[in-house]
Amino acid sequence: MGVMTRWLEPDEQRTWRAFLAASRALMETLDRELQRDAGMPHAYYEILVRLSEAPDRRLRMTDLADATGSSRSRLSHAAARLEAAGWIRREDCPTDRRGQLAVLTDDGFATLAAAAPGHVEGVRRHLFDALSPAQVDQLRRISETLAAHLTGSGPN
Amino acid sequence: MGVMTRWLEPDEQRTWRAFLAASRALMETLDRELQRDAGMPHAYYEILVRLSEAPDRRLRMTDLADATGSSRSRLSHAAARLEAAGWIRREDCPTDRRGQLAVLTDDGFATLAAAAPGHVEGVRRHLFDALSPAQVDQLRRISETLAAHLTGSGPN
DNA sequence: CCGGTTTTGTTGAGCGTTCAACTAACGCCG
DNA sequence: CGGCGTTAGTTGAACGCTCAACAAAACCGG
């Protein structure tokens, strides 16, 4: 702790600030588009996506939290909103009386299906169209490395 | 609009999800560390950093908003909090009677100086230590490309 | 100089997230 | 089986952000 701080090198500094600016701008843009076109934030969209991919369109709350990289609390609040919107419903888990299943409703599925094309197009326009195939590959490796590194030391 | 949606290719899908997971985990980790060690969110830390780098440690609200990639409203709310904490103070702009200058106080500078080493170490640990020098370079190019692409079409 | 338009910054309501505290059920060791 | 630590999920308060509405000053064309 008494050791001199090792500051960022100029190119690291530049990388870090560029990354901050880019990821913030990207997420804000997509979030705004989704809010405008589908009336939901990106986080809620992701919840619906994961449910739609699950067998029987249902998942345990904890599994859904893990899949979306969210805390239990966050998911619980989100589920309340999504249920109020009629996009999901909750069921008791048959094998664990503590458990809850989040189930995607037909309404939720329809909403998701309506929102998906526009959102995918946004991802394409704002992310993939700007990058070369090689860069997409680089970004994938970098992201997978980072994700593995981060979930190794400080998850929830 | 009647055109078939062009869905993401499998490798694009994988890239997108990895990027989401990684950037979310990274930002949440750093945010949590900063909140724990310095009592402020990352967004506020960035504001103090930009002020500390400015001549006379002062900036017009709009310039500060641009520098931190924030909306005017967000910065205005943030400035209120930062002022209440005693880390910045506001002054009237001498050349434009609409304008406000955000000025970093000595207290704010000291708080920043105390927080910086820990935060830099976090950035190093969670980001740069996981990547090769080549990947850092790739990430810089990708981020700069994306940032330029995004501020070309849909800024604030 | 006058009128409309633009820019600057603030405000309040509503929403989503965090954090800590809490209840209830599970599971395991003895 | 009985008790205890663990896990599942919820809750409420505090906080930060967005959005839309707004006031005030600056700018600009005629």
DSSP string, A56-75: GGEEEHHHHHHHHT--HHHH
Q: What is the mean pLDDT of the segment spanning A96-109?
A: 98
pLDDT tens string A9-39: 999 999 999 999 999 999 999 999 999 999 9
Q: Does residue B29 lie within 7 Å of nucleic acid chain C, judged by its CB?
A: no
- Give pLDDT, residue B1: 58
pLDDT tens string B17-37: 999 999 999 999 999 999 999
DSSP string, B77-104: HHHHHHHHTTSEEEEE-SS-TT-EEEEE
- Give pLDDT, residue A56: 98
pLDDT tens string B37-54: 999 999 999 999 999 999
Q: Which two tokens stand for residue A87?
A: 């996009």
Q: Does residue A41 lie within 7 Å of nucleic acid chain C, judged by its CB?
A: yes
Residue B4, pLDDT > 90, answer no
Q: How confident is the model at residue A1 (pLDDT cuts 50, 70, 90)?
A: low
Q: Tell me if B131 and A145 make a contact (CB, 8 A cut-off).
A: yes
Q: What is the mean pLDDT of the segment spanning A116-138?
A: 98
Structural domains in chain A? 30-116 (1.10.10.10)
Identify which of B32, B125, B143 has the shortest CB distance to residue A19.
B143
Q: Tell me if A121 and B147 make a contact (CB, 8 A cut-off).
A: no
Identify which of A12, A126, A143 has the shortest CB distance to residue B136.
A12
